[in-house]
């Protein structure tokens, strides 16, 4: 059975733009499977470090806001105590 031109083009398209991690022939074009694994690990670790940094930044920011609010409330309580003493 003859393959259509569309099928041939799509087959070439998918063969050149897909790769598997250890389960089949990887994307060749001069790229080693170890390079692909290292690149994937680098992206994963970068995402993990970035997410951790964002969480720590937001936690510190919220803690500072809460501390400022607490100081302001304490100052207002002392002010009212002073006013009510007189």
Is 75 or 9 the better-scoring residue by pLDDT? 75
Q: Does position 21 have pLDDT exceeding 80, yes or no?
A: no
Tens digits of residue pLDDT in 25-39: 555 556 677 878 888
Helix spans in 1-86 (H): 5-17, 33-85
Domain boundaries, the chain: 32-86
**Nearest partner of 17 among 8, 25, 9, 27, judged by Cα:** 27
Tens digits of residue pLDDT in 49-60: 999 999 999 999
Q: Does position 43 have pLDDT exceeding 90, yes or no?
A: yes
Is 4 or 45 the better-scoring residue by pLDDT? 45
Distances from the Cα of 49 to the Cα of 46, 54, 68, angstroms: 5, 9, 29
Question: Which pLDDT belongs to residue 28?
Answer: 56
Using the Cα atoms of residue 26, residue 27, residue 31 and residue 36 in order, give the sign of their dihedral: negative
């Amino acid at each position: 059975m003859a393959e259509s031109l569309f099928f041939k083009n799509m087959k070439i398209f998918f063969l050149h733009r897909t790769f598997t991690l250890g389960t089949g022939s990887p994307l060749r074009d001069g790229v080693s499977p170890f390079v692909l694994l290292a690149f994937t690990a680098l992206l994963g670790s970068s995402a993990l470090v970035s997410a951790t940094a964002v969480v720590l930044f937001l936690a510190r920011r919220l803690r500072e806001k809460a501390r400022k609010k607490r100081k302001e409330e304490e100052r207002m309580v002392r002010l009212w105590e002073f006013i009510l003493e007189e």
